[in-house]
Amino acid sequence: MNADQLAVGWLGRVPYAEALALQEALVAARQRDLIGDMLLLLEHPHVYTLGRGASEHYLLRPAQSVPIYRVSRGGEVTYHGPGQLVGYPILALQGRQRDVHAYLRAIEQGLIDGLAHWAIDARRREGLTGVWVGQRKVASIGVGIRRWVTLHGFALNVSTELSRFDAIVPCGIQGCQMTSLRQEGHPEVGVEEAARVIAQSLGAVLGRNCQALAADRIWSWRERATVGGIGDGA
Protein backbone atom coordinates (compact mmCIF):
# COMPACT_ATOMS: atom_id res chain seq x y z
CA MET A 1 0.00 0.00 0.00
CA ASN A 2 1.24 3.49 -0.86
CA ALA A 3 2.25 5.78 2.01
CA ASP A 4 -0.58 8.19 1.16
CA GLN A 5 -3.27 5.50 1.38
CA LEU A 6 -5.36 4.60 4.40
CA ALA A 7 -7.02 1.18 4.36
CA VAL A 8 -10.49 1.45 5.93
CA GLY A 9 -12.36 -1.58 7.19
CA TRP A 10 -15.95 -1.73 8.45
CA LEU A 11 -16.19 -4.65 10.89
CA GLY A 12 -19.75 -4.36 12.17
CA ARG A 13 -20.45 -5.21 15.81
CA VAL A 14 -17.43 -6.78 17.54
CA PRO A 15 -17.01 -7.81 21.20
CA TYR A 16 -14.48 -5.57 22.90
CA ALA A 17 -11.97 -8.31 23.75
CA GLU A 18 -11.90 -9.50 20.13
CA ALA A 19 -11.34 -5.98 18.82
CA LEU A 20 -8.55 -5.43 21.34
CA ALA A 21 -6.80 -8.64 20.26
CA LEU A 22 -7.15 -7.58 16.64
CA GLN A 23 -5.56 -4.22 17.39
CA GLU A 24 -2.66 -5.93 19.14
CA ALA A 25 -2.01 -8.09 16.08
CA LEU A 26 -2.27 -5.18 13.66
CA VAL A 27 0.03 -2.96 15.72
CA ALA A 28 2.65 -5.72 15.73
CA ALA A 29 2.30 -6.15 11.98
CA ARG A 30 2.50 -2.39 11.39
CA GLN A 31 5.64 -2.12 13.54
CA ARG A 32 7.28 -4.60 11.18
CA ASP A 33 5.97 -2.91 8.03
CA LEU A 34 4.00 -6.04 7.14
CA ILE A 35 0.90 -3.90 6.58
CA GLY A 36 0.18 -0.26 5.83
CA ASP A 37 -1.83 2.20 7.88
CA MET A 38 -5.39 1.17 8.70
CA LEU A 39 -8.57 2.55 10.20
CA LEU A 40 -10.89 0.03 11.85
CA LEU A 41 -14.52 1.15 12.15
CA LEU A 42 -17.02 -0.82 14.22
CA GLU A 43 -19.55 -0.99 17.03
CA HIS A 44 -19.22 -2.78 20.37
CA PRO A 45 -21.78 -4.54 22.52
CA HIS A 46 -22.26 -2.81 25.90
CA VAL A 47 -18.90 -2.33 27.66
CA TYR A 48 -17.13 0.12 29.97
CA THR A 49 -13.42 0.83 29.59
CA LEU A 50 -10.92 2.65 31.76
CA GLY A 51 -7.68 4.22 30.59
CA ARG A 52 -4.39 3.07 32.05
CA GLY A 53 -4.46 5.66 34.86
CA ALA A 54 -8.22 6.02 35.21
CA SER A 55 -9.90 6.13 38.61
CA GLU A 56 -12.49 3.47 39.41
CA HIS A 57 -14.32 6.11 41.47
CA TYR A 58 -15.78 7.30 38.17
CA LEU A 59 -17.62 3.97 37.83
CA LEU A 60 -20.77 4.92 39.72
CA ARG A 61 -23.22 2.06 39.21
CA PRO A 62 -22.29 -0.07 36.19
CA ALA A 63 -24.65 -2.95 35.44
CA GLN A 64 -23.18 -6.26 36.59
CA SER A 65 -23.92 -7.76 33.18
CA VAL A 66 -21.71 -5.20 31.40
CA PRO A 67 -18.00 -6.07 31.21
CA ILE A 68 -15.32 -3.61 32.32
CA TYR A 69 -11.81 -3.43 30.84
CA ARG A 70 -8.76 -1.45 31.88
CA VAL A 71 -6.67 -0.81 28.78
CA SER A 72 -3.53 0.99 27.63
CA ARG A 73 -5.16 4.14 26.31
CA GLY A 74 -5.13 7.58 27.84
CA GLY A 75 -8.19 9.08 29.48
CA GLU A 76 -10.68 8.07 32.14
CA VAL A 77 -13.76 5.87 31.96
CA THR A 78 -16.11 5.68 29.00
CA TYR A 79 -18.96 3.60 27.63
CA HIS A 80 -19.21 1.81 24.29
CA GLY A 81 -22.32 0.18 22.91
CA PRO A 82 -24.74 -0.24 20.02
CA GLY A 83 -25.38 2.93 18.06
CA GLN A 84 -21.88 4.27 18.67
CA LEU A 85 -19.23 4.47 15.96
CA VAL A 86 -15.84 3.37 17.29
CA GLY A 87 -12.69 4.05 15.29
CA TYR A 88 -9.29 2.47 15.86
CA PRO A 89 -6.55 4.01 13.67
CA ILE A 90 -3.47 1.81 13.33
CA LEU A 91 -0.98 4.38 12.06
CA ALA A 92 2.81 4.57 11.99
CA LEU A 93 3.66 8.11 13.07
CA GLN A 94 6.85 9.05 11.25
CA GLY A 95 9.05 12.14 11.05
CA ARG A 96 7.14 15.29 11.93
CA GLN A 97 4.04 13.20 12.65
CA ARG A 98 5.64 12.00 15.90
CA ASP A 99 3.65 14.49 17.93
CA VAL A 100 0.95 13.01 20.17
CA HIS A 101 -0.73 16.38 20.72
CA ALA A 102 -0.95 17.00 16.97
CA TYR A 103 -2.31 13.49 16.45
CA LEU A 104 -5.11 14.05 18.97
CA ARG A 105 -5.99 17.37 17.36
CA ALA A 106 -6.09 15.66 13.93
CA ILE A 107 -8.62 13.10 15.17
CA GLU A 108 -10.72 15.88 16.68
CA GLN A 109 -10.61 17.84 13.42
CA GLY A 110 -11.60 14.81 11.38
CA LEU A 111 -14.64 14.31 13.60
CA ILE A 112 -15.53 18.00 13.52
CA ASP A 113 -15.31 18.08 9.72
CA GLY A 114 -17.35 14.91 9.44
CA LEU A 115 -20.11 16.23 11.68
CA ALA A 116 -20.32 19.32 9.48
CA HIS A 117 -21.69 16.97 6.79
CA TRP A 118 -24.91 16.95 8.83
CA ALA A 119 -24.66 20.69 9.59
CA ILE A 120 -23.72 19.98 13.21
CA ASP A 121 -21.60 22.78 14.63
CA ALA A 122 -19.12 20.66 16.57
CA ARG A 123 -16.07 22.16 18.23
CA ARG A 124 -13.22 21.60 20.67
CA ARG A 125 -13.29 22.87 24.23
CA GLU A 126 -10.13 24.39 25.62
CA GLY A 127 -8.27 22.12 28.01
CA LEU A 128 -10.42 19.09 27.16
CA THR A 129 -9.97 16.27 24.67
CA GLY A 130 -12.88 15.27 22.46
CA VAL A 131 -15.57 16.91 20.34
CA TRP A 132 -18.47 18.95 21.64
CA VAL A 133 -21.75 20.47 20.49
CA GLY A 134 -22.11 23.46 22.77
CA GLN A 135 -21.52 22.07 26.27
CA ARG A 136 -22.54 18.53 25.25
CA LYS A 137 -19.94 15.92 24.35
CA VAL A 138 -20.59 13.98 21.15
CA ALA A 139 -17.25 12.16 20.71
CA SER A 140 -14.59 10.87 23.08
CA ILE A 141 -10.94 10.17 22.26
CA GLY A 142 -8.40 8.01 24.04
CA VAL A 143 -5.27 6.80 22.27
CA GLY A 144 -2.29 4.60 22.90
CA ILE A 145 1.06 4.57 21.09
CA ARG A 146 3.59 1.74 20.91
CA ARG A 147 6.91 2.44 19.24
CA TRP A 148 5.11 5.22 17.36
CA VAL A 149 2.28 3.00 16.10
CA THR A 150 -1.17 4.10 17.29
CA LEU A 151 -3.99 2.03 18.75
CA HIS A 152 -7.31 2.70 20.50
CA GLY A 153 -8.95 5.85 19.13
CA PHE A 154 -12.36 7.54 19.17
CA ALA A 155 -16.03 6.92 19.89
CA LEU A 156 -18.76 8.98 18.18
CA ASN A 157 -22.30 8.78 19.51
CA VAL A 158 -24.63 8.26 16.56
CA SER A 159 -27.80 6.71 18.01
CA THR A 160 -26.28 5.62 21.33
CA GLU A 161 -28.50 4.94 24.34
CA LEU A 162 -27.25 7.97 26.25
CA SER A 163 -28.71 6.84 29.58
CA ARG A 164 -25.88 4.27 29.69
CA PHE A 165 -23.51 7.13 30.52
CA ASP A 166 -25.45 7.79 33.74
CA ALA A 167 -23.62 4.83 35.33
CA ILE A 168 -20.24 6.59 35.02
CA VAL A 169 -18.63 10.02 35.16
CA PRO A 170 -17.87 10.23 31.43
CA CYS A 171 -14.18 10.89 30.81
CA GLY A 172 -13.85 11.85 34.48
CA ILE A 173 -15.65 15.17 33.87
CA GLN A 174 -18.18 15.89 36.61
CA GLY A 175 -21.48 17.08 35.15
CA CYS A 176 -20.52 16.05 31.62
CA GLN A 177 -23.61 15.82 29.42
CA MET A 178 -23.38 13.46 26.46
CA THR A 179 -25.16 13.90 23.15
CA SER A 180 -25.45 12.09 19.82
CA LEU A 181 -26.33 12.68 16.19
CA ARG A 182 -29.83 11.45 17.02
CA GLN A 183 -30.10 13.86 19.95
CA GLU A 184 -28.90 16.70 17.72
CA GLY A 185 -31.73 16.13 15.23
CA HIS A 186 -30.43 13.37 12.96
CA PRO A 187 -32.22 10.11 13.86
CA GLU A 188 -31.95 8.97 10.24
CA VAL A 189 -28.16 8.49 10.39
CA GLY A 190 -26.96 4.93 10.94
CA VAL A 191 -23.60 3.89 12.30
CA GLU A 192 -22.36 2.48 8.99
CA GLU A 193 -23.29 5.68 7.16
CA ALA A 194 -21.49 7.70 9.83
CA ALA A 195 -18.46 5.44 9.38
CA ARG A 196 -18.24 6.27 5.66
CA VAL A 197 -18.43 10.01 6.28
CA ILE A 198 -15.96 10.05 9.18
CA ALA A 199 -13.47 7.87 7.30
CA GLN A 200 -13.34 10.37 4.46
CA SER A 201 -13.04 13.42 6.72
CA LEU A 202 -10.35 11.82 8.89
CA GLY A 203 -8.46 10.66 5.81
CA ALA A 204 -8.52 14.21 4.45
CA VAL A 205 -7.13 15.65 7.69
CA LEU A 206 -4.37 13.04 7.70
CA GLY A 207 -3.62 13.68 4.02
CA ARG A 208 -4.55 10.13 3.02
CA ASN A 209 -6.68 8.57 0.31
CA CYS A 210 -9.12 6.10 1.84
CA GLN A 211 -9.25 2.63 0.34
CA ALA A 212 -11.86 0.10 1.43
CA LEU A 213 -10.45 -3.12 2.84
CA ALA A 214 -12.56 -6.26 3.27
CA ALA A 215 -13.17 -7.34 6.85
CA ASP A 216 -11.90 -10.89 6.24
CA ARG A 217 -8.50 -9.55 5.17
CA ILE A 218 -8.26 -7.54 8.37
CA TRP A 219 -9.22 -10.48 10.56
CA SER A 220 -6.64 -12.67 8.85
CA TRP A 221 -3.91 -10.77 10.72
CA ARG A 222 -5.49 -11.75 14.03
CA GLU A 223 -5.44 -15.41 12.93
CA ARG A 224 -1.76 -15.17 11.96
CA ALA A 225 -0.90 -13.81 15.39
CA THR A 226 -2.87 -16.60 17.08
CA VAL A 227 -0.80 -19.29 15.38
CA GLY A 228 2.41 -17.59 16.44
CA GLY A 229 3.30 -15.79 13.23
CA ILE A 230 3.50 -12.38 14.89
CA GLY A 231 4.70 -11.34 18.33
CA ASP A 232 3.51 -8.08 19.84
CA GLY A 233 6.91 -6.41 19.41
CA ALA A 234 6.16 -3.92 22.16
Q: Is 198 within 8 Å of 87 (Cβ atoms)?
A: yes
* CB neighbour list of residue 191: distance below 8 Å, 6 or more residues apart: 43, 83, 84, 85, 158, 159
Active-site residue, 210 included = no
* CB neighbour list of residue 99: distance below 8 Å, 6 or more residues apart: 93
Distance CA 89, CA 197 (A): 15
Residues written for the chain: 234
Q: Of 7, 91, 106, 171, which residue is the catalytic one?
A: 171
23 burial class (0-12, 13-18, 19+ CB within 10 angstroms)?
A: buried
157 burial class (0-12, 13-18, 19+ CB within 10 angstroms)?
A: buried
* CB neighbour list of residue 144: distance below 8 Å, 6 or more residues apart: 52, 71, 72, 73, 74, 150, 151, 152
69 dihedral zone (left: phi>0; alpha: psi -120 to 50; beta): beta
Question: Which residues participate in catalysis according to the annotation?
Answer: 171
